[in-house]
């Protein structure tokens, strides 16, 4: 029988594409969902984190567990209540599953948890970071530290655990690229803030392939930076998007004060500079399908 992968947060940008790729590889895929609404080719089980309830069928015969659940970082302004939700949605969900696995003596072959390069801080300037770099001291760093600490509850059960610190995931269906490509198509593409901030990006398919590699490769354990080997500045990314779309880039940069006014503290997500190196991935046998930015953009933007 094919192996079963249980995914939390399976309806998100990464979760949807990862589900498709796992199904293509012959896995059985199950999602944990607050609604429990059925989906084609996927087993969907209901859970309620606040009530500590998980449909017991979800954990039955589970070979792998992937943790993607979490309130969107850039979906709403960072009020104090929203900040608490961003953290709790990531930590309480996996802590619940860890308690259940311990109580029921369930031990999947591997556990892979999403994390984020925000671990190093929202704005680290020109400094380059590897998996060995220390954590930052702002909100995004606090989120990811607590996220990874929660994943350690699963590792403590003697389950091989991998944490993938995700960078800026490029997809035509959402995220940063979709937001930047829309004005570019209209001839209104412009760098954000100074434009000199580094963006450590990765194609959605390569990010999903990293999750699959982490499942299948028994030598993978600990933290890996889920980014390409070639970070670019915001100006360069904007330029390449316009170039691939065949549209001019003539507007001045969007000023920082305007972004702060519109998004508040959450503007750190687009204004912060983050140069992250994928050292451990490069030391492995994994090979990217889209290692260069232009190649990735052509693949994604030509789909529309």
- Tens digits of pLDDT across the chain (304 residues): 799 999 999 999 999 999 999 999 999 999 999 876 677 899 999 999 999 999 999 999 999 999 999 999 988 889 999 999 999 999 999 999 999 999 999 999 999 999 999 999 999 999 999 999 999 999 999 999 999 999 999 999 999 999 999 999 999 998 889 888 888 887 878 888 999 999 999 999 999 999 999 999 999 999 999 999 999 999 999 999 999 999 887 678 888 888 787 778 878 878 899 999 999 999 999 999 999 999 999 999 986 5
- Phi and psi dihedrals of 276, rounded to 5? -120, 135
Position 76 in a domain: yes
- In Å, what is the CA distance from 225 to each residue of 59, 148, 256? 28, 13, 28
Position 207 in a domain: yes
pTM: 0.94
pLDDT of residue 36: 63
pLDDT of residue 303: 65
Q: Which domain holds residue 187?
A: 4-234+263-301
Position 146 in a domain: yes
**C-alpha closest to that of 282 among 210, 216, 234, 174:** 210
| Gap between the Cα atoms of 174 and 229, Å rounded | 22
User: Between 80-104 and 139-155, two packed helices, what is the crossing angle to 10 degrees?
Assistant: 10
Position 253 in a domain: no
Position 67 in a domain: yes
| Gap between the Cα atoms of 184 and 189, Å rounded | 4
- Quick one: three-class SS letters along the chain? CCCEEEEECCCCHHHHHHHHHHHHCCCEEEEEECCCCCECCEEEEEEECCCCEECCCCCCCCCEEEECCCCCCCCCCCCHHHHHHHHHHHHHHHHHHHHHHHHHCCCCCEEEEEEEHHHHCCCCCCCEECCCCCCCCCHHHHHHHHHHHHHHHHHCCCCCEEEEEECEEEECCEHHHHHHHHHHHCCCCCCECCCCCEECEEEHHHHHHHHHHHHHCCCCCEEEEECCCCCEEHHHHHHHHHHHHCCCCCCCCECHHHHHHHHHHHHHHHHCCCEECCHHHHCCCCCCCCCCHHHHHHHHHCCC
- Phi and psi dihedrals of 18, rounded to 5? -65, -40
Position 229 in a domain: yes
Position 258 in a domain: no
- Phi and psi dihedrals of 254, rounded to 5? -70, 120
- What number of residues does the chain have? 304
How many domains does the chain fold into? 1
CATH number for the domain spanning 175: value is 3.40.50.720
Position 65 in a domain: yes
Q: Are strands 4-8 and 28-33 parallel, antiparallel or unpaired?
A: parallel
């Amino acid at each position: 029988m094919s192996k079963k992968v249980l995914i939390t947060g399976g309806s998100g940008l990464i979760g949807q594409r990862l589900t498709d790729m796992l199904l293509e590889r012959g896995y059985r895929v199950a999602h944990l969902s607050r609604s429990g609404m059925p989906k084609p080719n996927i087993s969907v089980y209901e859970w309620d984190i606040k009530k500590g309830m998980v449909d017991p069928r979800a954990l039955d015969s589970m070979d792998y567990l992937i943790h993607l659940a979490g309130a969107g970082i850039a979906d709403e302004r960072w009020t104090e209540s929203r900040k608490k939700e961003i953290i709790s949605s990531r930590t309480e969900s996996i802590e619940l599953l860890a308690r259940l696995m311990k109580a029921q003596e369930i031990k999947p072959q591997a556990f892979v948890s999403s994390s984020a390069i925000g671990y190093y801080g929202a704005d680290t300037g020109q400094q380059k970071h590897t998996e060995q770099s220390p954590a930052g001291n702002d909100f995004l760093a606090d989120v990811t530290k607590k996220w990874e600490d929660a994943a350690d509850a699963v590792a403590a059960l003697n389950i091989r655990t991998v944490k993938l610190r995700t960078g800026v995931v490029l997809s035509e269906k959402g995220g940063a690229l979709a937001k930047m490509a829309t004005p570019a198509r209209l001839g209104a593409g412009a760098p954000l803030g100074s434009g000199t901030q580094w963006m450590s990006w990765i194609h959605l398919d390569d990010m999903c392939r990293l999750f699959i590699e982490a499942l299948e490769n028994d030598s993978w354990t600990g933290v890996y930076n889920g980014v390409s080997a070639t970070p670019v500045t915001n100006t360069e990314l904007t330029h390449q998007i316009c170039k691939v779309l065949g549209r001019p880039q003539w507007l001045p940069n969007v000023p920082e004060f305007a972004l702060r006014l519109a998004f508040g503290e959450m503007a750190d997500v687009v204004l912060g500079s983050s140069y992250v190196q994928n050292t451990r991935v490069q030391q492995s046998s994994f090979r990217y399908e889209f290692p260069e930015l232009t190649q990735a953009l052509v693949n994604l933007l030509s789909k529309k």
